[in-house]
Amino acid sequence: MSAGYVETETFIREEVAQLTGQAVGTITGDTVLVGTGRVLDSADLVMLLLSVEEFARDSLGARFDWTSDSAMSEARSILRSVGSLARHLTELPAET
Amino acid sequence: MDTVVVTGASRGLGRFCADELHSRGYRVVGLGRTPPRDAAFETRAVDVSDSKSVAAAVHDLRRDASVYALINAAGIASMNLVVTTPSETVRRIIETNLLGTIFCCQQIAPALIRRGNGRIINFSTLGVPLAIKGEAIYIASKAGVEGFTRVFARELAPHGITVNAIAPGPIDTALLAKVPQDKVDAVVRQQIIPRQGTPQDVWNVVSMLLAPESSMVSGQTLHVGGA
């Protein structure tokens, strides 16, 4: 069964909390991932993307290829915040 | 068993490195436009200048924890004056040598990051510091590789991955077949060690960079022959 938005956002919040050492409760859907006010450095962002790639495959049945042209061209909007990333993931088509 | 991905594995330095790695017990995945039929290692057909072709060829390796290194040895050259080099030739050289290196790094780096260590070895040329007349486009592509190597090394350092470039002088490979010997000799005379290098000389540097003891060497260009 495919995870929904809440589960997806929760997963990302927990990952961000673990990478930053912050409490999960301080990470919200509005927490910024890239650009001004970001909570992750570039190395942590890569680690988050690797985790999200696996989450998408295992829990959403979808392929999140963050090195694809389409993902890269929209990276700034997809990765703007925890919420925008969670929305993008839940909108990915399931792999057949 | 550690896996090493080698581009340009069909011939030349890529093939030499792939054969050496295979004989030393590595699993080798050799990428090439036309994979050799006589290779003892695994081969896959890919056009490194096409990002989609690269992604499709190595997709399964992105999550493969055995992937330890990427050697970007694919390259083409064309000796010509800048003003007489056709634009399509310029494009092909830049796309294969520079973009090909970048595309392969983009696809294989996630596997190394997951693993938490690894090696990326790119290929430049001694022509960059020697500024050899008639090789401007080739040298421009390789100078780009050197710049990319330095920056990518910084990006991957937090993940325990080193990124270096090897810049050989003229080596007796297919790439050099159309270059007149007097031109080769003129370049060799400019090297610090004025002897024409061999594939074995290049492999020795590859082997050194692959070793765990080289974990503090990153972002460097190593000139085989010296310049």
In this predicted structure, the answer to whether residue A1 has a pLDDT above a threshold of 60 is no
ipTM: 0.71
Which segment of A63-72, B52-61, B81-90 scores lowest on mean pLDDT? A63-72
User: Does residue B138 have an active-site annotation?
Assistant: yes
pLDDT of residue A71: 67
Rounded to an integer, the average pLDDT of A12-36 is 95
Question: What is the side-by-side order of every strand in the sheet holding B3-7?
Answer: B42-45, B27-32, B3-7, B67-72, B118-123, B161-168, B221-224
Query: Which residues on B lie below 8 Å from A43 (Cβ)?
Result: 155, 158-159
What's the CA gap between B186 and B204, in Å, rounded? 24
With an 8 Å Cβ cutoff, is B53 touching chain A? no
Encoding tokens for residue B137?
């486009």
pLDDT of residue A73: 67
pLDDT of residue B148: 98
Q: Is A20 exposed, middle or buried (0-12, 13-18, 19+ CB in 10 A)?
A: middle
The answer for B 81-110 residues in CB contact with A (under 8 A) is 106-107, 110
Rounded to an integer, the average pLDDT of A87-94 is 92
**From the centroid of its chain, how far is CA A42?**
14
Taking an 8 Å cut-off on Cβ atoms, the answer to whether A50 and B106 are in contact is no
Supply the pTM of this predicted model: 0.89
In this predicted structure, the answer to whether residue B130 has a pLDDT above a threshold of 60 is yes
What's the CA gap between B66 and B117, in Å, rounded? 11
| pLDDT tens digits along A49-88 | 999 999 999 999 999 888 777 666 677 788 899 999 999 9
What's the CA gap between B39 and B26, in Å, rounded? 14
What's the CA gap between B118 and A48, in Å, rounded? 19
